[in-house]
Structure 1
Amino acid sequence: MNDTVQSFFPDTTARPRVYRLLRAASEPAHRELGEMPAPDDIHPLGEVLEHVINAKMTCLFADWLHRHDHTPGLPRPMQQFLRGQLRLNAYRTAQHHQEAAAIITALHQHDVPAAAINGIAHATLLYPGAGVRQSSDVDILIPASAAATAADLLTRRGYYSTGRSPTTLHRDFDDPIVPGLTLDLTTRLAHTGNATTIDHILERRAPAPSNGEHQAPLPILRRDDGFRHTLARVASQRRWPALADALHYALDDTSGSQPATALNKPSRAGWELIRSCWPQLPQDAPLAGSHG
């Protein structure tokens, strides 16, 4: 195992123990690739939790602690905190999912193709039913030509500009747990901003897997499109959640692969970064199809 400490946000360059635990928490439950046995140097927990919280990996780490039987050894208040974070995130994710699905349905009714991307899409696709993928907002991909139509439609649904950008909107909810939602409309992906390519990607979007009878259908990117985008996000942002997402894509049950040359430069850089953390992964990113 390569124990070279990578620099992700938050930076763990000088903290190999924190790096090992964040890396372990990034691995899918059914395909763990870390040290055998799993890291057990969780104490003291304070320094680890500081980095875990800053990385937005609290729920993934709480889940990892539970799966490896570390939770019973923690003080009761810490156990209650971790369980509470998981319940809170599961509820927040469900609310965000429903709202994203409703927005995309409304956009479709106005002939605007759209798909959920990033956290809310990955929560359903890569972490089904687990409630462990945290995200603070909802990201929706639309064609550049439809940006004005989409913003106008959302304004009529109660969204208003946050001032960050014309396509970052917010809506207040009458919910004490999820009092509002910030929505980012984007016309680009991390690996491409070409308008024609984005149109083709939206044409081949697919429904996210359903994890419950009351869960509204949520259009997301086709598997390989989402994987390419996520790999490029890893390379450009170097954030732990994107790293975990890319690893989950790489270790899903997809059969068959295409050579890494099917990746453009930003996505290929992300795959090389993933392999620097998990060198036992194949040299070529496991793509299911040949779409560019």
Structure 2
Amino acid sequence: MTAAPATFFPDTTSYPRVYRLLRAACSPTGTATDVHGEDLQPLGEVLEHAIVAKMLCLLTDWLDRHGHTASLARPMQQFLRGQRRLNTHRWRTHHQEGARVIAVMAGNGIPAAAINGLAHASLLYHGDGSRQSSDVDILIPVEASDDAVNVLIGSGYYATGRRSGALHRDFDDPLVPGLTLDLSTRLAHTSDPDDVANVLARRTPAPQHAADLEPLPILSRDDGFLHTLARVAAQRRWPALADALRYGVDRSTPSDVAIVLPASAQTGWQLLRSCWPHLPEQPPLSGTTGEHR
């Protein structure tokens, strides 16, 4: 039986074919889907939703992995693969700059870690260009906010005025002409300064997918998983859903820190299971207690 669209995707609940394809694109290698080649036609409606949802490169990856790309017109094949190559270049540029600014802040006594798209591109997608993100999100302690802004302005950034904590830097790159850096002092599952400090103390280097890339500090697996689940609950966007699914089927060894499962993360996990009912009742976190907060 074909699963009904999860109700937390208002952009696709009226488009079951689009829902099936985007859900399939979220699924890592080896995850069963209920999508067939005929679901691709016509492709225009699917591409529109994928572009708006920042899922085009992940959809392209799914098309390639399942042998569907060859059935598309050659100009469409060239377009999709060109977007994948562009996104790989964008990821490398963002990684290099994220590692640089975190090192600059560390030199000024400010602990920081990459979160969201940039961190997940390396941790969950192996730097293959399938995870899209338009900016770089950096977690810092709340008490370091002013100092961090001053350090970054001294490092070539300027305030955009569009939202608090957003800084921009221009690049001499025709493909990636600039980068917006978002400084965050909270995570989706907690805004407590002590919690954030503990999370930053557990930072870990992102997997190194290229020898010429500098080490990038990111959240530990469990901390990143909790944050991502809470983002699914709060924002209900496809990329966070894909991230959470990859955490959920990850076979790497979790940390040995006891975890209290926040209510927001529990809600995110149940939303994830509404798309993939085969997932276990509880998220695979190390030392998880039954408490919610």
What TM-score comes out, normalization by structure 2 length? 0.94
How far off is 1:91 after superposition? Answer: 0.1
Alignment of 1:1-292 (within 5 A): 3-8=3-8, 11-29=11-29, 31-35=30-34, 38-40=35-37, 41-255=39-253, 262-290=260-288
Going from structure 1 to structure 2, the CA distance change for 1:218 and 1:255 (only over 3 Å counts) comes to closer
Going from structure 1 to structure 2, the CA distance change for 1:33 and 1:159 (only over 3 Å counts) comes to same
Amino acid at match of 1:249: Y
Question: Contact 2:91–2:127 (CA<8 Å) still a contact in 1?
Answer: no
How far off is 1:270 after superposition? Answer: 0.2
How far off is 1:245 after superposition? Answer: 0.2
Superposed CA RMSD in Å reads 1.9
How far off is 1:157 after superposition? Answer: 1.1
Find the aligned partners of 1:187 and 1:62 in 2 and give their Cα distance.
34
User: Helix, strand or coil: the match of 1:181?
Assistant: strand
Find the aligned partners of 1:146 and 1:91 in 2 and give their Cα distance.
31
Question: Contact 1:254–1:288 (CA<8 Å) still a contact in 2?
Answer: no
Going from structure 1 to structure 2, the CA distance change for 1:175 and 1:8 (only over 3 Å counts) comes to farther
User: Helix, strand or coil: the match of 1:5?
Assistant: coil
How far off is 1:129 after superposition? Answer: 3.0
Going from structure 1 to structure 2, the CA distance change for 1:257 and 1:106 (only over 3 Å counts) comes to closer
Going from structure 1 to structure 2, the CA distance change for 1:90 and 1:32 (only over 3 Å counts) comes to same
Larger deviation, residues 138-147 vs 8-17 = 8-17
Stretches of structure 1 lacking an aligned partner (at least 5 in a row): none
Question: Contact 1:139–1:185 (CA<8 Å) still a contact in 2?
Answer: yes
How far off is 1:158 after superposition? Answer: 1.4
Question: Contact 1:232–1:270 (CA<8 Å) still a contact in 2?
Answer: yes
User: Helix, strand or coil: the match of 2:182?
Assistant: strand
Going from structure 1 to structure 2, the CA distance change for 1:131 and 1:256 (only over 3 Å counts) comes to closer
Going from structure 1 to structure 2, the CA distance change for 1:89 and 1:33 (only over 3 Å counts) comes to same
Amino acid at match of 2:270: E
Stretches of structure 2 lacking an aligned partner (at least 5 in a row): none
How far off is 1:4 after superposition? Answer: 1.9
How far off is 1:159 after superposition? Answer: 0.8
How far off is 1:130 after superposition? Answer: 1.2
How far off is 1:9 after superposition? Answer: 5.4
Find the aligned partners of 1:215 and 1:73 in 2 and give their Cα distance.
36
Number of residues of Structure 1 aligned to a counterpart in Structure 2: 288
User: Helix, strand or coil: the match of 2:40?
Assistant: coil
How far off is 1:289 after superposition? Answer: 4.2
Amino acid at match of 1:184: D
Going from structure 1 to structure 2, the CA distance change for 1:183 and 1:145 (only over 3 Å counts) comes to same
Amino acid at match of 1:147: S
Find the aligned partners of 1:256 and 1:94 in 2 and give their Cα distance.
27
% identical aligned pairs: 59
Going from structure 1 to structure 2, the CA distance change for 1:66 and 1:287 (only over 3 Å counts) comes to same
Find the aligned partners of 1:89 and 1:77 in 2 and give their Cα distance.
18
How far off is 1:288 after superposition? Answer: 2.9
Amino acid at match of 1:20: R
How far off is 1:7 after superposition? Answer: 4.0
Residues 123-155 of structure 1, C-alpha deviations (whole Å, 9 max, x = no match): 000000311100000000000010001000111
